[in-house]
Amino acid sequence: MQLSTRLLHAIPSDPQTGAIAVPIYQTSTFIQEAPGVNLGYDYARSGNPTRQALENLVATLESGHAGFAFASGLAAIDAVVKLLSAGDQIVAIDDIYGGAFRLFEHVYRRLGIDIVYCDTTDAANVAAVLTPRTRLIWLESPSNPTLKVSDISAIAAIAKANNVLLCVDNTFASPILQRPIELGADIVVHSATKYLGGHSDLIAGVVVAGTAELAAQLKFIQNASGGILGPFDSFLVIRGIETLALRVKQHCSSGLAVAKFLQAQPEIAQVFYPGLEDHPNHAVARRQQPGGFGGIVSIALADDSVESATRFVTSTRLFKLAESLGGPKSLLCHPATMTHKSTPAAQRRAAGVADGLVRLSVGLEDAEDLIQDLAQALALVRIGAEARAEVSVA
């Protein structure tokens, strides 16, 4: 059976009433017949049937052993880091999501966890920085916002050989395009705020454990730390996932069309999209996410300045200026001053997040309408750059 079919039928109907939609169990506790004798639930931090339906669904989607739903993507990432102890080390991708960087650097470094960053697009770089203290390798693929693609199978082999855990943030690809556990990863995390929820109407995160042992540890951490997702938002993520396969297909086809258009524009120095043949990791992307390359496209403006980037992101009409991605409406953002403002400028630039970099989340509007919107905004960028050049000559 294809994933789109399995996905829909992994969502249970309610055995008690036949309700085809998953009921929202808005309750804090569950009546027990005698102490410890219950119908599978005792207290809703430990387990809630609506959340459980979502957790089972994401485990199925990611070919994992068990799933865990959290109040945000960062709460999900936080739960994974809590598998570590003081003295342990994380090896992470260098253009890691800004919020994950802030959590690693400003919370976990203080608590005695060391983090080193490297360009994981070459698996040899990962092998070179491992030490006996390394416990966890942290990848995002494709990464945010420069769409770097790392070879998950190759890095999984290095992780296994060194007895290190591999966690992949699969937010950008979604399980429709890429299932890291099938490629050898131990753990997958998602910001379900993005494609899984898919409607820009909630904040949520999930962790999927590849083995029973990791599942038991993560279940303990989820209950002990308590950053769970509530039943209503669990219901909304399930409802979002019902259309995930369809949405991702459209995001991929419009993403590719937009990337190809942008590639031909003189105002743009570089287009970052794994589906373009000149993307440095295109061959790995083809093999690793055969279903498509997603809906996120980043561009480096030829005039690499905050001024031009600001002009561009305030000139589009359909693409709305906002943090986040993966919703029905197209969004764009300026990572240097928005999502990555927590990353120090030198490290940000070194990881390829230039001042003139703009990230687009290509939504579900008609692709031709989106292209026209980008064309008119680029024309305004060109006029602005020409005017600035004249002023500086005069």
Ligand X SMILES: *Cc1c(COP(=O)(O)O)cnc(C)c1O
Of 45, 249, 382, 388, the active-site residue reads: 45
Tokens representing 47 are 């387990």
- CB nearer to ligand X: give 95 or 267: 95
Q: How far is the CB of 197 from ligand X (least distance, A)?
A: 9
- CB nearer to ligand X: give 3 or 203: 203
Taking phi over 0 as left and psi of -120 to 50 as alpha, with beta for the rest, 40 belongs to: left
Euclidean distance between CA atoms 127 and 296, whole angstroms: 29
Whether 161 contacts 153, CB under 8 Å: no
CA 77-80-83 angle, to 5 degrees, is: 150
Q: How far is the CB of 93 from ligand X (least distance, A)?
A: 10
Radius of gyration of the chain (CA): 22
Euclidean distance between CA atoms 127 and 239, whole angstroms: 41
CB neighbour burial string for 40-67, b if at least 16 within 10 angstroms, e if fewer: ebbebbebbbbbbbbbebbbbbbbbbbb
- CB nearer to ligand X: give 8 or 203: 203
Which H or E element spans position 376? helix 367-393
Of 25, 94, 95, 97, the active-site residue reads: 97
Q: How far is the CB of 78 from ligand X (least distance, A)?
A: 9
Of 51, 148, 179, 194, the active-site residue reads: 194
Euclidean distance between CA atoms 313 and 242, whole angstroms: 32
Q: Is 194 marked active-site?
A: yes
Q: How far is the CB of 75 from ligand X (least distance, A)?
A: 7
Q: Is 97 marked active-site?
A: yes
- CB nearer to ligand X: give 207 or 299: 207
Q: Give the three-class secondary structure for 290.
A: coil
Tell me which residue has its CB nearest to ligand X.
73
- CB nearer to ligand X: give 193 or 250: 193
Q: Is 249 marked active-site?
A: no
Q: How far is the CB of 3 from ligand X (least distance, A)?
A: 21
Using H for helix, E for strand and C for coil, what is the string for 223-242? Answer: HHHCCECCHHHHHHHHHHHH
Give contact residues for ligand X (rule: CB under 6 A).
72-74, 97, 99-100, 140, 144, 169, 171, 191, 193-194, 203, 205
Cα 140 off chain centre by? 7
Contacts of 15 (CB under 8 A, 6+ apart): none
Of 94, 95, 151, 169, the active-site residue reads: 169
Q: Is 169 marked active-site?
A: yes
Whether 51 contacts 229, CB under 8 Å: yes
CA 261-267-272 angle, to 5 degrees, is: 55
Q: How far is the CB of 200 from ligand X (least distance, A)?
A: 12
- CB nearer to ligand X: give 78 or 267: 78
Q: Which residues form the catalytic set?
A: 45, 97, 169, 194
